[in-house]
Chains A and B, each alone.
Chain A
Amino acid sequence: MKRHRLLIDRILVCIALLALWQLASWYFGVYWVSTPRLTIVKFYNSMMSGEMLRHAGYTIEEAFIGAVIGAVPAIILPFTLRRLPGWVSVIDPFMVGGYGAPKLALAPLFILWFGIGIESKIALVASVVFFIEYFSTLSGVRSLDAKLVQMAQLVGANERQVARHIVFPGAVPNIFAGLRIALPYGIGAAVIAELISSNRGLGYLVQIGAMNFDITQVFAAILGATFVVLAVGWFVDETEKFLLRWRPPADSLMEQIHT
């Protein structure tokens, strides 16, 4: 019953947004704001011809490799630093600086260094994902329950076992919280890098559309990028749900409050 209600509400919001979009298109003219219908038809045709999937696949590849290169050291580093608490403070200002720096502005630099191929996009995605994931994992490692560590030591766990059985599982929620923010940013970074200089990818589609004053093409490519982000978000959520099935469901608590 509740599920239906949610679905109906979502469809209503969707219709309202499409209506606003349509209104904007009428008001500003199709030349500037393409209509929903044209965009969806373009998207559909692009999907059917395989063009959209080919470019999306390219963007996903960049984002995936970049995310792995960025996230893996970002997750390992806080675990290593746990035993060297002094070093966390030493590198902290640099990490904060790296986190705060506008990494999208690095795109031209990476293109100069790594060329217009996949390498420059991977580098940009990695630099975006790394800092978000580092701080997220660090907060997980820091919020560790000292009593659980003590319990593990009492029953004979060594440092490595404490890290593996206590610190890591305890940090998994934070690792996922980081991924949920970092991955959409990473995909965005890949698209922007493609926009600046590339011959493939969703950003390239946007760029071609803009150069040809084909606004519908731009909209369709953005729609494609949105679907990619949604799909990745769904995948992260499902993986998290599986890995964190030990947690008391927060939803049930919320429902109890609301009913």
Chain B
Amino acid sequence: MTAPLLEIRNLGKRFASRQGREAATWVIQGLSFSVPDGEFLTIIGPSGSGKSTLLNMIAQIDVASDGEILFNGDNIGVLDQKSLKPGLDRRVGYVTQDDNLLPWRTTLDNVLFPLEVQGRLDDKARARAESLIKAVGLSGYEKYYPHELSGGMRKRTSLIRTLVYDPPVILMDEPFAAVDAQTRTQLQEDLLRLWEMGRKTIIFVTHDIAEAVALGDRTLVLTKQPTRIASEHKIPFGRPRNVKDIFALPGFAQVYESIRAEIQ
């Protein structure tokens, strides 16, 4: 068996208590899992279970208090604030809950932003950006500013802004939480279609069980604080999948129920 692309070992996160009177509480403790290359992993947990903190540590915008994060076998779980490398030299992409589009840039220029700062803005890169824009149905909106776009369009823009520079691992922190149900289904379909094109490794955090099952190859369920893995569920559906019909598939109810039983 090949080594996993990303491996989390005994990861812990502790926030210093205010005024230093009480002992610092562990938000995450003894959390371990690994992700093989090309897997679509979904992580589900109760609110406040440190899901965002976990992703922030992997993306190197927050420090771990304990444990190791291995990327391709190299330990990247640094323990001090100063040596953090956000995005791990562009190897980890991060789609956050907020779209964080630059309001002074048009759709196209927002998508091109990563390539621009990475100094990779050539004709090939532009063509890739154009094809991604087309793939999510944003053709014709290239020259629009974010305030002129709908919530779903902004989400799509922020999604392809991360895909455009092709990071090997993409983290997603409840990216579709703030949109209406119908738009969410469309966004999920867009995401799966884009993923089929490149099969990047995705770690997708959500609190929606149906979403976790519909998208993932495998779903991890987290416990309440201090967070660790409660259980692991293999999702028994093949690819490509149809998000709209997934509820009707045999086996869906069973996986759904077994995950729900794990979450209080």
Q: How far is the CA of A150 from the CA of B92 in the complex (A)?
A: 13
Contacts A156-B114, A165-B117 known; A147 to B96 CB distance under 8 Å? yes
A-chain residues with CB within 8 Å of residue B162 when the two chains form the complex: 155
What is the chain A residue whose CB lies nearest that of B87?
A154
Give the docked Cα–Cα distance between A245 and B148 (Å).
12
Q: Is A169 an interface residue (CB 8 A)?
A: yes
- Contacts A165-B113, A169-B104, A246-B103 given; does A155 touch B90 at CB 8 Å: yes
State which residues 142-170 of A face B: CB under 8 Å: 147-148, 150-158, 161, 165-166, 169-170
- State the interface size on chain B (CB cutoff 8 A): 28
Contacts of A161 in B (CB 8 A): 117
Q: Select the residue from A153, A156, A161, A170 with max chain B CB neighbours within 10 A.
A: A156
Contact of A155 among B104, B105, B114 (CB under 8 A): B114
A248 interface residue (CB < 8 Å to B): yes
Assuming the A-B contacts A147-B96, A156-B87, A156-B90, are A169 and B117 also in contact, with contact meaning beta carbons closer than 8 angstroms in the complex? no
Instruction: Please name 20 further chain A to chain B contacts, defined as beta carbons within 8 Å, in addition to the given A152-B117, A155-B90, A165-B113, sorted by A numbering.
Output: A147-B96, A148-B100, A148-B102, A150-B86, A151-B96, A153-B61, A154-B86, A154-B92, A154-B93, A155-B93, A156-B118, A161-B117, A165-B117, A166-B102, A169-B104, A170-B104, A246-B103, A246-B104, A246-B147, A247-B147
**CA A170 to CA B106, docked complex, whole Å:** 15
Using a CB–CB distance below 8 Å, which chain A residues touch chain B?
147-148, 150-158, 161, 165-166, 169-170, 172, 244-248
- CA of A172 to CA of B61, assembled, Å: 27
For residue B98, which residue of chain A has the nearest CB? Answer: A147
A156 CB, nearest partner CB in chain B, Å: 5
By a beta-carbon cutoff of 8 Å, the part of chain B in contact with chain A is 59, 61, 86-87, 89-90, 92-94, 96, 98, 100, 102-106, 113-114, 116-118, 145-147, 161-162, 165
Set of chain A residues within 8 Å of B106, measured between Cβ atoms: 246
Chain A positions within 8 Å of B61 at CB level: 150, 153-154
Given contacts A147-B98, A246-B145, A247-B147, contact A154 B117 (CB under 8 A): no
Q: Most chain-B CB neighbours within 10 Å: which of A151, A152, A246? A: A151
> With A156-B90, A156-B118, A247-B147 in contact, is A151–B100 under 8 Å at CB?
yes
The chain A residue sitting closest to B97, CB to CB, is A147
Q: A156-B89, A248-B147 are in contact. Are A165 and B96 (CB under 8 A)?
A: no
29 interchain pairs, CB-CB under 8 A? A148-B100, A150-B61, A150-B86, A150-B100, A151-B100, A152-B117, A153-B61, A154-B59, A154-B86, A154-B87, A154-B92, A154-B93, A155-B87, A155-B90, A155-B93, A155-B113, A155-B114, A155-B161, A156-B87, A156-B89, A156-B117, A156-B165, A165-B113, A165-B117, A169-B102, A169-B104, A246-B105, A246-B146, A246-B147
A166: chain B residues within 8 A (beta carbon): 102
B102 surroundings in chain A (CB, below 8 A) = 148, 165-166, 169
Nearest-CB residue, chain B, relative to A160? B117
CA distance A213 to B114 in the complex (A): 67
In the complex, chain A residues whose CB is within 8 Å of the CB of B92: 154
Distance in angstroms between the alpha carbons of A169 and B101 in the assembled complex: 13
Closest 4 CB pairs of A and B: A155-B114, A154-B87, A153-B86, A248-B147
Closest chain A CB from B54 CB (angstroms): 16
The 8 Å CB contact of B100, one of A147, A165, A247, is: A147
- The CA-CA distance from A156 to B92 in the complex, in Å, is 10
The answer to whether residues A155 and B100 also contact, given A246-B145, A247-B147, A248-B147 and a CB cut-off of 8 A, is: no
Instruction: Name the B residues within 8 Å of A150 (CB-CB).
Output: 61, 86, 100
